[in-house]
Amino acid sequence: MRPRLRPADVARRGVAFGLLGVVPLVVTALSITGRSDRRDFLAVVSAVGGLFLPVGSATLLGSVACAGVLPAA
């Protein structure tokens, strides 16, 4: 039985969505005129991204392990 979600397809979609998600951030950052305000905006966005990184990584590793691609630890 083949898994429905193939890790390569999931990773490919994740990269595509991640790259497309950068576009609004760049547009917003360039539209903020004050240097200090821009730094604050980028700091908040980085902090939020840093909070989601471990959650996404754990979810990906858990789903790959459940799919039987990686041996259980």
Q: What is the pLDDT of residues 22-57, one digit of tens each?
A: 899 889 989 999 999 999 998 998 898 888 888 878
Number of neighbouring beta carbons within 10 Å of residue 6: 13
CA dist., res. 45 & res. 20, Å (int): 15
pLDDT at 68 (0 to 100): 63
pLDDT at 56 (0 to 100): 79
CA dist., res. 46 & res. 71, Å (int): 33
Number of neighbouring beta carbons within 10 Å of residue 22: 9
